[in-house]
Structures are given as structure tokens and as C-alpha cells.
Structure 1
Amino acid sequence: MKTLSWNCQGLGNPWTVQDLYQLEKEKKPNLVFLMETKMNSKKAEKVKRSLKGDGFFVAEPVGKKGGLIMWWDQNVTAEVANYSHRHISLWIYDEKGQDKWLLTGYYGEPDGRKRSDSWKFFTLLKPERNIGWGVIGDFNELVSQDEKVGGRQRLENQMKDFREALEDGGLYDMGWRGDKFTWSNKHADETFTKERLDRVVVNAKWKSSFRESWVEVLAARCSDHRPLLWCMYQTRNNGIRRRKVFRYEASWALEEECNEVLKRVWDQVGETNLLSKLESSEVTLLKWNRIKILDSKKEIQDRTDELRLLQMNESRGNISEIKSLQKELEKLLEQKDMKWRQRAKQNWFQLGDRNTRFFHSCATQRQK
């Protein structure tokens, strides 16, 4: 599931609407939360028809300020839990409709003088203890001074109130991928300022229910705020743990150590039947391979870092060392390449280059 959050600063401009459609086309979110739409329900109908979703909810603006929209597609089973001019909360159900968690799209109080009281309201949105909770949006506040560049420093009391609100809700910051700053005043002089106002926060229950999740900070094409894309993949636990089938990796044949490992096992087992020797070999090879995988990743990274430094100062004096490192890396990559080619069992030379995402996805799918 992918959730897009964006303070669009008004959906009245045609280029802002087109930017929204482009974001939907590029990122294919299952759910979209929009802030500062400045658009009532009647005007929002046009956006609703263009997005072609299953669910659409509008929190009306107050005068010419604010306005929230929550949209979701047919892959999301959701119902509105509660809302205000500052938030929209949805119950998100799993595929069987048995388990649920609370998703809140939140728009923080823009007036710093009123923000302290707004956090008291925010803590009231917290669900029951055993319910997962995730909040996404523009909080209009910072956690610390390092979330701001330029301009006057944020008042410590304001940040303290925000931190306490997150603690009261049992919420943890999901971090970011890309640039952490989500808003800029776009000034081209000494008054330039940028801040991290948009974020995703979750509680421990939500975190334990999703095996993988991350937040991407996207490019801002039409707004001072950069959109967030929150990607999440839920943990499925049917209570049954299947034993993985043992498979000999062809890349092991490139390792001189592999022959030595097998020889030691067979010598230790002694004059027993062939099945016992094979079973002992399986256990030992898997243990040896786990260690090799960790060592291989570290070795490739270390060699790459070393090569990068040498190439930054490339000259006739270090060209031999560079070539030697490249040879070492070629061998390491060949071993990695062979492993994924064997696992994927596809038409390697037609469908991809060495160790591409395609090979990884095929190989990983076989393990499930």
C-alpha cells in the first residue's frame, strides 16, 4: 500500500490539479491525503471524477483557508472514523476485513500562538492501546533546530510541545528517503529558509504489523511543500513456518574454501551411509554460506570505497592498483551474479543485465 500526502496550497489552479494527476500516474498511490485544498465539496467533485477512486471524503475549508481531501482506490478497504478541519482519520482493514489500523491525515495549526492547544486536540485522536496508528501530513512544527536552515531559530517551547504530543501518542518518526526538508520559502536572498514540516509518525503496534515501510520525499513542482510517499508492506503470519528447501548454489563452486568445507564434513562423518553425509553437508554449507554472505557484502562495499578514492586521484602512478581492485570486484560480482541467475531460472540474457532488480525479484519470489 502506498499513501501520498501533499500540502498543495490550493487546487484552484489548473497546473496544481495537473501536478496531482501526474503524481497519481507516476507514483500510483492507493490513498491520497491533500491539505490546504481551499476547495468545498461541490468543487472537489471534479477532482473526484478524475482520480476515479472508490472512496472520497472532503473536510470543508474554513472561509478561504484550509480544506482537506482523503481519496482511496479499490485496493483499500476503509471507512471514515472521524474528522475535523485539521484531520481526517480512516479505519484501514486487512484483506479479510478482520484486522484494522487507524490512518490519520493531519494538518497542523499554522498559527504558532494557537499551536500548543492544537496538540491537546491531536492527542485525543489516539486509538485504543492495541490498535495500530499511523499519522501523515504537514504538522507545521519541528522536532529540533536541525530540521531548519535559515531564518530565525524555532522557539524551544514550541518544539517541546510537539515532542510531548508525539510521546503522549506513543508515536515514532519514520524518517525519510532523499532530502529531509519538505518546505522552502523559495527566496533567492539571505532570507532563504527551509524546514522539515511534513512527516510520518507511527506507534509500536503499527510498526510490528508491517514488515517493511519507508517514506520518500518527492519533488515540489507547484507548491512550497514537497509531497511525501509512504510505502508499506504488511506482515502475513499464518502460524506455519515452512522449512526452506536446500539448494546448492552454483556460485559456491567458485570458492576454493567450499571444497575444503565439504572435505572436512565427510572426513568427520566417517564411514556412514551417503544420506548421513549429505544431511551433514547441508547443515554445514548453509552455516558457511550465511557467514560468506555477510563477508561478501562487506568486502564489495570496502573494495568499492577504496576504488572510488583511488579513481578520484587517478594517475599513472596508481593505475595498476586500480586495475587490481577492479579485477577483485569483478570476481566478487561474478559470484553474486551467478547466485541470482541460478535462483531466478529465467532467460537471463534477454531479460536483464548482471544482478538487476528483475533477477532479485524472481529469486526472492521463489523463497515465499
Structure 2
Amino acid sequence: MKLLSWNVRGLGQSRTVNRLKHMLQDVNPAVIFLIETKLQCKRMEGVRKLCGYSNGIDVASNGRSGGLSLAWKTNSQVKVRSYSNRYIDVIFEEDIDGFSWRCTGFYGAPEVENREASWDLLHSLDDMLDTPWLVIGDFNELLLASEKRDGRIQSDSQMNSFRTALMDCNLDDIGYRGQWYTWEWGRLSSNNIRERLDRGVANPAWWELFNDYQLDHLVHTFSDHCPILLTTGLNDRLRSRKQHFRFEAAWLLEESCEGEVLKLWNSCSGSIPDRLTLVSSGLELWFNKIKKEKKISVKALQQRLKELNDSQPSDEKLEEILETKLALNMEADREKIYWEQRARANWLKNGDRNTHYFHSFATNRKRKNRIRCLINDSNEEIQYEEGIEKMAMDYFSNLFTTQGVADPSVILEGINFPIT
């Protein structure tokens, strides 16, 4: 299951909505929590339905600030417990596995003078002791001074109040992968500030239920906050099954489709069933190749943006970050225009039909000692257990293997051997 939380900083422009839709299609989260939508409920409902999320709850903005939306497309039964302009609290009841867990999308007060009220709110929500509980969102506060670079020094009392609130509610930070910060301000190195304001926290019951997860800080092209994506059940293996061939309507939008069908049909001299089999398998390979080629440029831009975000900021790099974001936005806009020019129809909204499997561990020690990922010599992330085991075995095998004894004559040349 995937859950995405993002302070989008306004969805009033159609271009921004299109870029959000493009990103959600790429990541395909089952649950989304959007902060600072700056929209009234009716309009926000239209935006999330456009993005493929017909189920959800929206909280209206207060003028040009605030606004929340929590939406889902899962096999779970969702019960809304309560909500306000600072949070949306729901219970997910899994039909397949028969368990329930609690998720609270949280938006801490941006104003320092209202921060204590946010922690009082968190205390008031701590009313289901035995239920697995995840709180995710923009807390607008740091846990540690190391979560901020440049700008005004953060008040120790502010951070201590946040830490105390989490401790009182028995909530722990669940960590992250990717760039360390989630919020950035300033396009020049002289005024650039970076902070980690967005995070997920959970109680021990949630840790025990969702032992295998990761939270990623994603690259983004709009908003001063980055999306955070929680993925659970990483080691689940969906049972493979034979997929029946289905002709996709989207194939007709490709100019080379007709020629590809004719080429495949004429390349076989057998019976009609034989030709149909050849055409079906050939079309799937053909379209997969087209999709892969289209994604290459976008993936390269996303990788470059990630490298720039991880690097030490300078005026040149901040300018390149802006240019890379513009290029990614142009790709999203170009795809929208592509489909609008060739198909005068709405996108079909596909639900997330993944099956979820969860295993629980008894102690926090097992959770903390779990190796989720290793980086190999090619700087590639290895996440699967078989790959991690092989890397560990190879490392220690090489560590204790003699690589050959060097010729000692070079060292001995400078030593006198007196005869006594």
C-alpha cells in the first residue's frame, strides 16, 4: 500500500492540478493527504476526482490559506472519525486481512504562537491506546536542530515541546529515505533555507503491524514542500498469474499502431488464430517499448533534480534546479496536450487492486536491526532479501580473502644486512 502526504501550497490553477495528476499517475498511491489546497470543498472534490480519487473528505480553506483533503482508492473500508482545519482522522478496516488501523493526516500551525495548540490537539487525538496509529503530514516543526540548514536558529523550547508531545502520545518518527529536507525557501545560496517539516510518526502497535515499510522524500516540481511517500508491505510477493490479452484503446492514439498491426499480421503465413496470437504478443512488446522510450527523458530529469537537491546549493545549481523543474513541468503539460489532441474523452480511473500482506514482529529491536536497503559498488539500491544476502556474503568473503602477497624486495632494498 502507498500513502502520499504533500503540502501542495495551492491547487487553484489548472496547470498545477495537471502536474499533480501527472505525478499521482506516476506514483499511484492508494491514499493521499493534501495540505494547503486553498480550495473550497466543492472545487477540491472535483480536483481529486479528476486525479482518480472518488472517495475522500475535504476541509475548506479559510480564504487563501489552509484547506485539507484525504482521499483513497483501496479495498479498505474507511471510517471518518473526526476532522478540522488542522487534521483528518480515519480508520482503515482491511476486508482481506481482517485488521484495522488508524491514520491521521496532520497539519501543524504555521504560526509559532499557535504551535502549542497543535500539540494540545495531538494530545486530544491520543484516545485509542491499542489501535495501530500513524500520524503523517506537515508538522511545521523540527525534532532536532540538525533538521535545519541556515536561517534563524530554531528555538530549543519549540523543539522540546514537539518532542514532549510525541513522547506523551507514544509516537516515534518513522524515518525517511532520499534528500534530508522537505521544505526549501530561497533561490540563491545567500538566502537558501532548508528544513525537515514533513514526516510520519507512529505508535508501537503500528510498528508491530507494519514492520516492512519505507518513507521516501520525493522530487517535485511545484510547492516549496516535497511529497513524502509511505510504502508498506515491501517484501510482499504478489502471486504471478497468466494475463489475458486486452487491446488497449490508447494504442490507437499512436501513429505507428496501424503499421505495426499490418507488419505483424503479414509476417505470419499460418492460420487466423496463429496470426492473432502473434499480433497480440507483438503489440504488447511494441507498446512497452514506446512507453519506455517516453519515460527515459523524464526519468533522466528526475534523477538530475534529485542529484541537485542533494548537492551543496550555489547560485548556478539553484538556477539549474529551477530549469529542471520547468523542463519536468513542460513534459507533464506536453503529455496532457498529447492526449487532448488525440482523444476527446476523459481518462478512465483505475483503482488500486493490490493485495496486501502484513507480518508483525514482537519487538522494536527486530525493527531497528532490520536492513531495508544496501548500496552496491555501482551505486544501485538493493532492496530484495536475496540481493541483500548475496551482497553481505560477497563483502565478507572478499574481506577475509588474501589478494596475493606483494613482492617484498622493494621494501628490503633500503635495509642493510650487517653480518655479526
TM norm structure 1? 0.64
User: How far, CA to CA, are the matches of 2:224 and 2:399 in structure 1?
Assistant: 37
Match of 1:300 among 394, 411, 415: 394
Residue 164 in structure 1 maps to residue 164 in structure 2: yes
TM superposition shift of 1:302: 5.6
TM superposition shift of 1:300: 2.3
Question: What is aligned with 1:84?
Answer: 84
Question: What is aligned with 2:344?
Answer: none
Question: Using a 3 Å threshold, how does the CA distance of structure 1 residues 63 and 176 change in structure 2: closer, same or farther?
Answer: same
Aligned partners of 2:183 and 2:226 also within 8 Å: yes
TM superposition shift of 1:24: 1.2
User: How far, CA to CA, are the matches of 1:48 and 1:165 in structure 2?
Assistant: 32
Question: Using a 3 Å threshold, how does the CA distance of structure 1 residues 44 and 137 change in structure 2: closer, same or farther?
Answer: same
TM superposition shift of 1:14: 2.2
Question: What is aligned with 1:235?
Answer: 358
Q: Give deviations 1:39-92, integer Å, cap 9, x for gaps.
A: 011211321331233411101112221000011004332121110100001101
Question: Using a 3 Å threshold, how does the CA distance of structure 1 residues 294 and 109 change in structure 2: closer, same or farther?
Answer: closer
User: How far, CA to CA, are the matches of 2:127 and 2:398 in structure 1?
Assistant: 47
Residue 127 in structure 1 maps to residue 127 in structure 2: yes
User: How far, CA to CA, are the matches of 2:14 and 2:3 in structure 1?
Assistant: 23
User: How far, CA to CA, are the matches of 1:296 and 1:121 in structure 2?
Assistant: 47
Q: Relative to structure 2, which stretch is displaced further, 296-305 or 171-180? A: 296-305
Question: What is aligned with 2:2?
Answer: 2
Question: What RMSD in Å do the two structures reach over aligned CA positions?
Answer: 2.7
> SS of the residue aligned with 2:125?
coil
TM superposition shift of 1:111: 0.1
Tell me which amino acid in the other structure corresponds to 2:392: K
Aligned partners of 1:30 and 1:76 also within 8 Å: no
Question: What is aligned with 2:182?
Answer: 182
Tell me which amino acid in the other structure corresponds to 1:115: R
> SS of the residue aligned with 1:188?
coil
Question: Using a 3 Å threshold, how does the CA distance of structure 1 residues 45 and 117 change in structure 2: closer, same or farther?
Answer: closer
**Larger RCO, structure (CA 8 Å, separation 6 or more):** 2
User: How far, CA to CA, are the matches of 1:112 and 1:145 in structure 2?
Assistant: 16
User: How far, CA to CA, are the matches of 2:54 and 2:22 in structure 1?
Assistant: 19
Aligned partners of 1:215 and 1:229 also within 8 Å: yes
TM superposition shift of 1:23: 1.8
Q: Relative to structure 2, which stretch is displaced further, 95-104 or 125-134? A: 95-104
User: How far, CA to CA, are the matches of 1:191 and 1:88 in structure 2?
Assistant: 34
Question: What is aligned with 2:291?
Answer: none
Question: What is aligned with 1:261?
Answer: none
TM superposition shift of 1:181: 0.4
User: How far, CA to CA, are the matches of 2:194 and 2:36 in structure 1?
Assistant: 19
User: How far, CA to CA, are the matches of 2:87 and 2:58 in structure 1?
Assistant: 10
Question: What is aligned with 1:155?
Answer: 155
Question: What is aligned with 2:99?
Answer: 99
> SS of the residue aligned with 2:113?
coil
How much identity, in percent, do the aligned residues show?
33
TM superposition shift of 1:20: 1.3
Question: What is aligned with 1:344?
Answer: none
Question: What is aligned with 1:143?
Answer: 143
Question: Using a 3 Å threshold, how does the CA distance of structure 1 residues 174 and 304 change in structure 2: closer, same or farther?
Answer: farther
Q: Give deviations 1:163-209, integer Å, cap 9, x for gaps.
A: 01110111111111111200000330422100000001110001111
Q: Give deviations 1:147-174, integer Å, cap 9, x for gaps.
A: 0001111000000000011101111111
User: How far, CA to CA, are the matches of 1:294 and 1:7 in structure 2?
Assistant: 34
Question: Using a 3 Å threshold, how does the CA distance of structure 1 residues 117 and 75 change in structure 2: closer, same or farther?
Answer: same
TM norm structure 2? 0.57
Tell me which amino acid in the other structure corresponds to 2:191: T
Structure 2 portions without partners, runs of 5+:
234-356, 361-386, 401-405, 407-420
Residue 115 in structure 1 maps to residue 115 in structure 2: yes
User: How far, CA to CA, are the matches of 2:389 and 2:217 in structure 1?
Assistant: 32
Aligned partners of 2:145 and 2:154 also within 8 Å: yes
Residue 200 in structure 1 maps to residue 323 in structure 2: no
Q: How many residues are aligned here? A: 255
Question: What is aligned with 2:350?
Answer: none
Aligned partners of 1:102 and 1:133 also within 8 Å: yes
Moved over 6 A (4+): 303-306
Residue 42 in structure 1 maps to residue 136 in structure 2: no
Q: Give deviations 1:86-138, integer Å, cap 9, x for gaps.
A: 00011011124843111000011000111012211111111321111001101
Q: Give deviations 1:336-364, integer Å, cap 9, x for gaps.
A: xxxxxxxxxxxxxxxxxxxxxxxxxxxxx
User: How far, CA to CA, are the matches of 2:108 and 2:358 in structure 1?
Assistant: 31
> SS of the residue aligned with 1:166?
helix
Aligned partners of 2:31 and 2:74 also within 8 Å: no
User: How far, CA to CA, are the matches of 1:84 and 1:305 in structure 2?
Assistant: 57
